[in-house]
Amino acid sequence: MRPFFLLLVFVGGGIGSVCRYAMATALQKGLPGPFPVGTFFVNLLGCFVIGLVGALGLERAAISPEARTFIMVGILGGFTTFSSFAWESLGLLTVRDLLRASLYVGGSVFLGLLGAFLGRAIGRIGA
């Protein structure tokens, strides 16, 4: 791990987190109902951008490894880890590794929900 790459991820992550908060909050304001449209939109946008940057950087070599790390790991990592999840799932599907893709997608969703449920249940003890 090179220190410069760590710095790129650190700075990019801060930028992405602020952008996520600002965009999700702005989109959610004034909309009726409990559907988290802000987070939903941020996740979809992040998936599109990681696909675009991944193709430009890895398949066309139009983006340097430093810029790719800054955008994909830093900014998008702070913006939404859902984009990383989608990119990694796509990678498994691209090589036709359906078993691992199914385990990754299904396990992430199911176990992620289970973890959130258990964490909330433990956090509510004594409340």
Residue 49 inside a domain? The answer is yes
Q: How high is the pLDDT of residue 77?
A: 93
Q: What is the DSSP letter of 122?
A: H
Query: Per-residue pLDDT tens for 9-64?
Result: 999 999 999 999 999 999 988 787 888 999 999 999 999 999 999 999 988 899 99
Residue 20 lies in a domain: yes
Answer yes or no: is 57 within a domain.
Answer: yes
Overall domain count for the chain: 1
> Considering the chain, what is the average pLDDT of its residues?
93
- The per-residue pLDDT for 108 is 95
User: Quick check: is 123 in a domain?
Assistant: no
Would you state the structure tokens that stand for residue 55, as one six-digit string? 């193709």
Asked if residue 113 belongs to a domain, the reply is no
- Tell me the whole-structure pTM to 2 decimals: 0.82
Which pair of tokens denotes residue 68? 């790719």
Question: Does residue 120 form part of some domain?
Answer: no
Asked if 94 contacts 58 with a C-beta cutoff of 8 angstroms, the reply is no
Give one DSSP letter per residue of 32-91, joined into a string: -SS--HHHHHHHHHHHHHHHHHHIIIIIS--S-HHHHIIIIIIIHHHH-HHHHHHHHHHH
Q: Domain of residue 38: give its range.
A: 3-80
pLDDT at residue 1, rounded to an integer: 81
Q: Give me the percent of the chain exceeding a pLDDT of 90.
A: 76
